[in-house]
Amino acid sequence: MSDVVAHANARLGAALDALRGSTGLVPEVALVLGSGLGPLADEIEDATSVPYGAIPGMPVSSAPGHAGRLVMGRLAGRSVVAMQGRVHPYEGFTAQECTYPIALMHGLGARSLVVTNACGGLNPAFAAGDIMLQLDFINFTGQNPLIGPNDDAYPRFPVMFDCYDPEYVERARSAAIAEGIHLREGVYLAISGPAYASRAELRAFRTLGADAIGMSTVFEVIRARHLGMRVLGISTVTDMALPDRDEHATGDEVLAVAARTGATFRRLVRAVLPGLE
């Protein structure tokens, strides 16, 4: 084991000890709640909430719509740990730092991960307010959280085929039907940000097969799969990122749409959770 890996594991161990001192809960499912989607964490019962700044080694988000708390408790009959907000590369964090919370939640016991985000719709059949089930991703950030020394407990070259668990995808489809929720499906493409994509980039991304675009999520999925976690991805389409539009949505408009669709999003996640292992 390299000194870098040993140091990272020691830092992670200190954070885990601190959190276990706050609660005896062993989470089954981890949740990452993206821009404007954090209110789901307020529905967690018997909750223990810890600010990111109080967790050793934990990066602290400065992005709007990200509260920056780790919430542990019960939701829809499952023991969960939820990130109420994430950190992004455009805030100055490395890909490794962005995924430290994934390793932390895995260390607490979670073996399933639900990642969520607010995204721009590239598929012209979509509309603002739609909910999209992520079927695959395109990492266009130029970064990867696994670059550097590898912990020998995990694979050096993890395969990203079926990065979103096919069985979980089917369960999400069934849950949406049962709840009467119209669910879109597609490929999520990530850029580093903070600049939004140009018109030419949007056209290129659509040609590549992307249905939605954002500035998060793929690092977390890569790290989770490296750790052996099963992953489900859900996006809220908060604006349409179409290259021929006269104007681009603002950050405030994105958060407003996420808030309006929040009840449907929360209902879907609650319906899906009991079927995850």
- What per-residue confidence (pLDDT) applies to 68? 87
Residue in this structure with the two tokens 């609650």, named with its chain if needed: 270
Question: Which string of b and e fits 96-107 if b means at least 16 CB within 10 Å?
Answer: bbbbbbbbbbbb
> What tokens appear for 209 in the block?
């097969």
CB-neighbour burial class of residue 204 (10 A; exposed 0-12, middle 13-18, buried 19+): middle
Domain count, the chain: 1
- The per-type count for the chain, helices as H runs and strands as E runs, is 8, 9
Q: Could you list the residue range(s) of the whole structural domain that residue 159 is in?
A: 3-275
| pLDDT string in tens for the chain (277-residue length) | 677 888 788 889 988 998 998 888 999 999 999 877 788 999 999 999 999 999 999 998 876 665 789 999 999 999 999 999 899 999 999 999 999 999 999 999 999 999 999 999 999 999 999 999 999 999 999 999 999 999 999 999 999 999 999 999 999 999 999 999 999 999 999 999 999 999 999 999 999 999 999 999 999 999 999 999 999 999 999 999 999 887 777 777 777 887 888 889 999 999 999 999 8
Any idea what the CATH number is for the domain that residue 133 is in?
3.40.50.1580
pTM above 0.85, yes or no: yes
Please report, in angstroms and rounded to a whole number, the separation of the first and last CA atoms in the chain. 31
